[in-house]
Amino acid sequence: MMFLPSKKDLKTALEVFAVFQWPLSVFIIGECSAFVTTVIFVNLYLVVFTSYWPVTVLILAWLAYDWKTPERGGRRVKCMRNWYLWKLYCVFFPLRLLKTHDISPGHNYILVCHPHGLLSHSWFGHFATNDLLFSKIFPGITPHILTLGAFFWVPFLRDYVMSSGACSVSQSSMDFLLTHRSAGNMLIVVVGGLAECRYSLPGSTTLVLKNRTGFVRIALQHGVPLIPAYAFGEVDLYNQHIFTPGGLVNRFQEWFQSMVHIYPCAFYGRGFTENSWGLLPYAHPVTTIVGKPLPLPKIENPSQETVAKYHALYVDALRKLFDQHKTKFGISETQELVIV
């Protein structure tokens, strides 16, 4: 008799597929320079040696015409944010999104997310999809997840990324969203960035935040509140091998980060089967707590001292949020946030 998978096995397989596509997209972007070079040579081949040159011309013409869209609010596709695939994605871990205060749709906000983790799985599930019912948790609020400009360099992939509501994290993009759109916009910024990957270890509470002040400056320039958010469990989704400090591999990691601001990590998780090794995240619960908005005055040209003052207030608000909830998620009362 032919073996037929059970409904449970099929559901598990679909959950794994849903999660797999996100790291796959990230790895494509991680190899973006090589990928873009390949795309360029393929298109040159089509133009010079085949009769399919009109395809290349149309793609490049569209890319040139649409180049600024990621900095002009993007192009979200509501039906794609509501895909059943994303529901499976969120169930895999599972992910949970909780708020501590109501957010008025009469204002714009910058939601500052911590920690980055290795692949920011929770932030993608929370804000690039609607399967955690973001629209019901925060009625009247439109999330705009901000990410690296490299995500928008590749034809077709850029449209897929923008369909989730993602935009460029550049200052011009943030300025546009905060000035050329009506109220109710929430800009999602993961400020630790790729530099924080080196600290993404199970049980770690280290954040790259000490010198990250750009988000505070932009919030002051537009007079919008900052909202701290912490994802408990994000750093537990992968293991990471730590090389000997000062050793050859570690020196290469430090050099690479100094050159391209990306820390190459030797991380691993599970494979396509539960007990195998691979690059899928572990099925570990992640709960994100969204804190109280921190109001900021509008100052068009804030001084460095002013930025530092409100940065310190933000860090205090983040620490308070973390301390209020940490013991609920297996973190000891004595463990504190480490800001580097």
Q: Could you read off the pLDDT of 172-216 as tens digits, one per residue?
A: 999 999 998 788 999 999 999 888 988 999 999 999 999 999 999
Residue 256's pLDDT band (cuts 50, 70, 90): confident
**145, pLDDT greater than 80:** yes
CA angle 301, 227, 129 (to 5 degrees): 115
For the chain, what is the mean pLDDT? 87
Residue 39 confidence (pLDDT): 63
Residue 38 confidence (pLDDT): 63
Residue 2 confidence (pLDDT): 47
Residue 222 tokens, joined: 């537009």
* Rounded Cα distance, 295 and 216, in Å: 11
Of the candidate ranges 10-14, 67-71, 253-257, the one whose mean pLDDT is the lowest: 10-14
Residue 226 confidence (pLDDT): 98
Sheet of strand 286-290, all strands in order from the earlier edge strand to the far edge: 95-99, 286-290, 226-232, 109-114, 185-189, 142-147, 167-168
Strand partners, 229: 113, 290
Residue 131's pLDDT band (cuts 50, 70, 90): confident
Residue 1 confidence (pLDDT): 45
pLDDT digits (tens, 9 = 90+) for 259-306: 767 778 888 888 877 777 888 899 999 999 999 999 999 999 999 999
* Rounded Cα distance, 185 and 275, in Å: 42
* Rounded Cα distance, 207 and 111, in Å: 16
Residue 336 confidence (pLDDT): 94
Residue 194 confidence (pLDDT): 84
* Rounded Cα distance, 225 and 141, in Å: 14
CB 19, CB 89: distance < 8 Å: yes
Pairing of strands 185-189, 206-207: unpaired
Q: pTM above 0.75?
A: yes
pLDDT digits (tens, 9 = 90+) for 41-83: 666 766 667 777 787 788 888 888 899 999 999 999 888 888 8
